[in-house]
Structure 1
């Protein structure tokens, strides 16, 4: 069951909370939907789901992740960063919803104050009835800082590149299990 929450905390900077759990995505944002075939079978599904919901996939893809240990939970806060020293960009987020279902595991986080973008992104692993395992990244976002506005169309391109890169890491982690 997908669990949506509203924490009532300040900082979530967009009105469309939980929109990655349903379609269509809200207007006025850049949209991303990327699906990667991960493998086949229950073992691949479980390994991929664990890698996604513990941020192991994010960490092995090169992201710096500061989050609570264990599986993600609604309301949990996370900072995802990239770069080093003065070139490091930190992106604070809050987990908006989670899914821990027999054929679907994943979560979405929404941007908090200080994030370079404004919006939401979900990371979901699914297993089809035939046993095929898929990893899907769905997002809606728009620039939230001067430098992301200045970057213009480069940001959606980089987001798609990262979704593909993350999919390859989820596939590798599932195959190693």
Structure 2
């Protein structure tokens, strides 16, 4: 959904209600759990958040509050209070080139597991028809208990779905790179800011 004005909460809620009744906009739902399907642009980025259980818990908290999507030009919409659960429909707002975009998705799976080797928390979502791209994305925090390192990773596969996204794909590609870079930095900053408290 494209708009010249920032969408109101009422518009967003109505839009999400409408999108919740629609199927995913691509066929390979859940594919990111096992690999990358052909025919899409693949992204795999990660960053070290720090070490230890407390850092892992901070990273988990950041994902729970959608901090990886709160970047100053991308925002959780209408607020960062969507529960992280399978089937949850949500949207992010993007401000770009004088337009507001609402990017709807639905959570496909939640990862919340721990054993002697590692602990992981995050989720993956698929795009809905109103999203300018088609594909899947996963946000994940992993604590390697052997090295004590905590990593945040961002993985996705996508392809332009909307005509404007297709025609302007070089710009869209740059925005995807910017999102990845800013998301990793935001997660680092969030964890480090909590360490100082």
Identify the TM-score tier after normalising by the shorter chain: 0.7 to 0.9
Task: Report how many residues are paired.
Answer: 169
Measured against aligned partners, the alpha-carbon deviations of 1:59-105 in whole angstroms (never above 9, x if no partner) come to: 25542212673641010011101118x61011000001111112100
Match of 2:168 among 129, 151, 157: 151
* Equivalence for 1:142: 159
TM-score where L is the length of structure 2? 0.78
1:119 counterpart = 2:130: no
How far apart in 2 are the matches of 1:113 and 1:55? 22
State the alpha-carbon separation in 2 of the partners of residues 32 and 60 from structure 1.
19
Higher Cα Rg, which structure:
2
Greater relative contact order structure (CA < 8 Å, 6+ sep): 1
Could you tell me whether the CA contact under 8 Å between 2:30 and 2:108 is conserved in 1?
Answer: yes
Q: Deviations 1:100-150 (Å, cap 9, x if unpaired)? A: 112100001110011000000100010112111111111000001111101
- How far off its partner does 1:163 sit? 1.1
Counterpart of 1:20? 32
How far apart are the structure 1 equivalents of 2:108 and 2:133? 16
CA RMSD across the alignment: 2.1
2:88 is equivalent to residue 76 of structure 1: yes
Counterparts in 2 of 1:145 and 1:98: CA distance versus 1, 3 Å: same
Contact 1:61–1:166, Cα closer than 8 Å, also in 2: no
SS of residue paired to 2:81: coil
Normalising by structure 1, report the TM-score.
0.87
Question: What's 1:52 paired with?
Answer: 63
Counterparts of 2:185 and 2:38, CA distance in 1: 29
5+ residue gaps, structure 2, are: 1-19
Whether contact under 8 Å (1:68, 1:78) holds in the other structure is no
Aligned to 1:100: 112
